[in-house]
Amino acid sequence: MKDVDFSFSRYSCGAMTHNVKLCMERPRKKGAKWTNMHIAPDEKIETFELDYDGKRDRWNGYDAATYARIIERYEARDEARRKYLKEQQLKKLEEKNNKENGEGNVSDEDEDEDALKVDEAKVDESKQMDFAKVEKRVRTTGGGSTGTVRNLRIREDTAKYLLNLDVNSAYYDPKTRSMREDPLPDADPNEKFYGGDNQYRVSGQAMEFKQLNIHAWEAFEKGQDIHMQAAPSQAELLYKNYKIIKEKLKLQMKDAIMEKYGNAATDAKLPRELLMGQTERQVEYDRAGRVIKGLETSLPKSKYEEDVYINNHTSVWGSWWKDHQWGYKCCKQTIRNSYCTGAAGIEAAEAAADLMKANIDRKAASEETPVPAEEKRLATWGNDVPDDLLLDQKQLTEALKKEDERKKEEKDERKRKYNVRWNDKVTAEEMEAYRMKRIHYDDPMKDFLH
């Protein structure tokens, strides 16, 4: 018997997108490949290439149409309930009309109608109560249990994410419903209803809880057996005792200092002018007694030294900027540890810049009138070469040939003649040929020239 490949599900249900092992249908006696009947459709497999934010999107893959189907189902359920209640009411009315002696049973029918009305009222009330219900997982030590937590926000209030619709405003986290920063930082504080979640963290009982945590940490580090999460009541009691003892120590220290040095404030009374003192500083308050304008908070002082001048400078480093460099404004120097030269240094720097500009212009003007390269060539050897020195191209070619012959003689001593005549007169072309043919010992490529 030949080996059968069961890698695809066409041997069972007929689909090509999964194998037999992953097939969710009932196994068939004969697969769809052999019967060619009831072939299951292939699943739609989608691959997504998401970025960093897309992988962490809580609503990725959510289809809004599913919520519409849920609403339709609930509306159909409510409609069926209303229809059922109406049928029950019509049935009661028919029974009432058919009965001849209806006086004794009128109260019972009235009670039934009242019960139906109460039932309808309960349905409407449950709808309103469930409007603000939030299902939330409450974590406990036993593993957690699902509980109901109601949303305490009044529905008439504006939601925090609608206070400022600017994209670059305070960030709102939809999962935790938190907005730490103030969405309207420039608004009047007396008219703002919401100032961010950080406002609640630094006010009210939040600060007391934070101080309690800090006290528990510090006490644990000093050797006391205290833990805020394991024994919160013990930690709070110890913190209260700590505050009482600390206040007593402060009072004892204050009494000791006053007993030793005395209290001059209690001996002499203050003048009436100081008690009823006046000032020209204007402070505005609102109806609640809060300061609106007049007592502005002072700017915090930097930890770095300010207005400290070094090396006779009259301005600080970084007070001047030019050509992507910082410097001193008083002398326009870009070296940090330089000595201040004042106005004379600025004039000297400007003169040097003008001289450099003039040299550049002169060089550019000289390059605009070149000499034809076929006839004459500029000399490139030496340092004391005149600017107007030109070389003859034909003589330079002959000088190069002579220089090659001289180098061959230096390599082979047998070709050197016995009687050697020395010529002390060296032309500019011969000097240029020597410079072009000589070996530069600092050149890393000198070994590959020949």
Q: Are residues 134 and 249 in the same domain?
A: no
- Backbone φ and ψ of 381, nearest 5°: -100, 155
Contact criterion met (CB below 8 Å) for 319 and 329: yes
Question: If we measure between CA atoms, which residue out of 309, 417, 347 comes closest to residue 319?
Answer: 309
Q: Are residues 226 and 158 in the same domain?
A: no
Helix (H, G, I), strand (E, B) or coil at 282: coil
pLDDT at 100: 63
Q: Are residues 78 and 172 in the same domain?
A: yes
Structural domain contains residue 276: no
Q: Are residues 387 and 423 in the same domain?
A: yes
Kindly report whether the global pTM for this prediction surpasses the value 0.75: no
Q: Are residues 222 and 166 in the same domain?
A: no
Structural domain contains residue 50: no
Taking residues 127-143, report their average pLDDT.
Answer: 52
Instruction: Give the position of tokens 């920063």.
Output: 181
Domain range enclosing 393:
376-448
Taking residues 119-139, report their average pLDDT.
Answer: 53
Give kind and range of the element (H or E) at residue 377.
strand 376-378
Q: Are residues 397 and 349 in the same domain?
A: no
Q: How far apart are the first and last CA of the chain?
A: 79
Please write the tens of the pLDDT for every residue from 379-390.
555 555 666 677
For residue 219, the one-letter residue type is A
pLDDT at 389: 72
Q: How sure is the predictor about 189, in pLDDT bands with cuts at 50, 70 and 90?
A: confident
Structural domain contains residue 441: yes
Structural domain contains residue 136: yes
Round the average pLDDT of the chain to a whole number and report it. 79
Contact criterion met (CB below 8 Å) for 327 and 340: no
Q: Are residues 183 and 70 in the same domain?
A: yes
Structural domain contains residue 223: yes
Domain count, the chain: 5
Q: Measured between alpha carbons, how far is 420 from 431 in angstroms, rounded to an integer?
A: 20
Structural domain contains residue 387: yes
Q: Measured between alpha carbons, how far is 164 from 183 in angstroms, rounded to an integer?
A: 6
Structural domain contains residue 224: yes
Domain boundary among 125, 155, 187: 187
Q: Are residues 72 and 178 in the same domain?
A: yes
Q: Are residues 407 and 335 in the same domain?
A: no
Whether 373 shows a pLDDT value over 50: the answer reads no
Q: Name every residue whose Cβ is closer than 8 Å to that of residue 428 and which is 6 or more positions away in sequence.
A: 379, 389, 391
Q: Are residues 71 and 176 in the same domain?
A: yes
Structural domain contains residue 283: no
pLDDT at 255: 93
Q: Are residues 388 and 431 in the same domain?
A: yes
Q: Are residues 180 and 68 in the same domain?
A: yes
Question: If we measure between CA atoms, which residue out of 392, 401, 400, 397 comes closest to residue 373?
Answer: 392
Taking residues 119-132, report their average pLDDT.
Answer: 52
